[in-house]
Each structure stands twice: as C-alpha cells, then as structure tokens.
C-alpha cells in the first residue's frame, strides 16, 4: 500500500525546533544539574551550551522520566500529553541517543567510546542539536508545542536532576 501525504493532519513526519531549555527549579540544588542554554549558530544550526555538574555518578541506579505537556490552542499547558519512565537511566539515555551517543559524549569533552556510568564531576557542554535526526525516537508525532520535563530519580523516588525543554514539533517543510 502506497503512503499518501496528508499535510493538514495533526500527525506525521516532523522536525524539531528547540525553543528553550532551563532548570526546573532554580532554588533546588540538584545532584545532577544541567546549566545549559541554546545558542543559535546559524539560521539552521542550534547548539546546547553550558555546564553539567554531576555530584553523583550518572549510572543505571537512577531512573529516567519525562512528562510532555502540550500547549493548548486556547492557551495554557495540558500536562501528561506523553509520559515515559524507565529504570537504568544511563543505558536508556544511550539507547535513545543511538548512534548520536558518541557525538553527545564528545560534546562533554569525553571519549566518544565512553560507556555507562558517567563519573561525577563538572563538564562543559557544546552539543549540536542537528544530530537529533539520528536519535531512536518515533519518526512520526503529533504536531504542536511541547514542554518536556526531563528528570532523574534515585531508587527512593527522590528527584536528583530536572531540566525543562520547550520544543515545536512541526512538519518537515515548516
């Protein structure tokens, strides 16, 4: 069966436009703290830059969670548009990044062959977001603006790191 392009439907192939990235709560001293921001390098290239502080190793004893809220057409965020939780945070992140893992590790000034766990310490990050096309994520998604709360929890359920990403999921030609 041949696939038919229906450009007015709210779901399909997409492109991600990064709008913002920031810490969930500035007042909390997270054990994993991503102090990053986006930097527009050119009309088509955006980088994440900043520093990452790991007061604990980033390993598989942590859980990876994210909650995506979608921006309503009448304003306001609708929480839990998409939720995901997984054990083994480091391995799960590595799986999501797929072939981009080595680029991601180099952006932290680590070896491209770095495996889990990531040692505690201070890291400087400079990551080109055009690499997002290589991630192991759905190839079709519902169009819209999303606020994604990415957070890590320990075995007791305590949040040890939290970052918010705001993105637009748009049609490939937009």
Q: What CATH number is attached to the domain comprising 92?
A: 2.70.220.10
Q: Tell me, yes or no, whether 12 lies in a domain.
A: no
pLDDT 10s digits, 71-118: 988 889 999 889 999 999 999 999 999 989 999 999 988 888 889 999
- Longest Cα–Cα distance of the chain, Å, equals 54
Nearest to 124 by CA among 47, 29, 36: 36
Identify the helix (H) or strand (E) that includes residue 150: strand 144-153
Bond prior to 117 in cis (omega within 30° of 0): yes
Q: Tell me, yes or no, whether 97 lies in a domain.
A: yes
26 pLDDT higher than 90: yes
* Whole-number average pLDDT of the chain: 90
Q: Tell me, yes or no, whether 3 lies in a domain.
A: no
- Per-residue pLDDT at 125: 93
Q: Tell me, yes or no, whether 103 lies in a domain.
A: yes
Q: Tell me, yes or no, whether 7 lies in a domain.
A: no
Q: Tell me, yes or no, whether 20 lies in a domain.
A: no
Q: Tell me, yes or no, whether 73 lies in a domain.
A: yes
Q: Tell me, yes or no, whether 35 lies in a domain.
A: yes
Number of domain units in the chain:
1
- Full residue range of the structural domain in which residue 43 is found: 28-170
């Amino acid at each position: 069966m041949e696939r038919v392009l229906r450009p007015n439907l709210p779901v399909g192939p997409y492109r991600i436009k990064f709008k913002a990235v920031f810490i969930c709560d500035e007042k909390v001293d997270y054990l994993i703290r991503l102090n990053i921001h986006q930097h527009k390098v050119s009309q088509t290239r955006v980088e994440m830059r900043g520093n990452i502080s790991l007061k604990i190793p980033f390993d598989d004893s942590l859980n990876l969670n994210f909650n995506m809220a979608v921006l309503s057409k009448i304003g306001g965020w609708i929480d839990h548009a998409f939720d995901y939780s997984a054990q083994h945070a480091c391995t799960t992140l590595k799986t999501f990044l797929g072939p981009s893992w080595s680029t991601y590790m180099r952006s932290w000034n680590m070896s491209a062959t770095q495996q889990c766990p990531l040692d505690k310490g201070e890291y400087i990050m400079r990551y080109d977001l055009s690499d997002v096309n290589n991630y192991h994520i759905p190839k079709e998604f519902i169009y819209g603006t999303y606020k994604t709360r990415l957070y890590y929890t320990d075995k007791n359920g305590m949040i040890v790191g939290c970052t918010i990403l705001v993105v637009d999921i748009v049609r490939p030609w937009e």
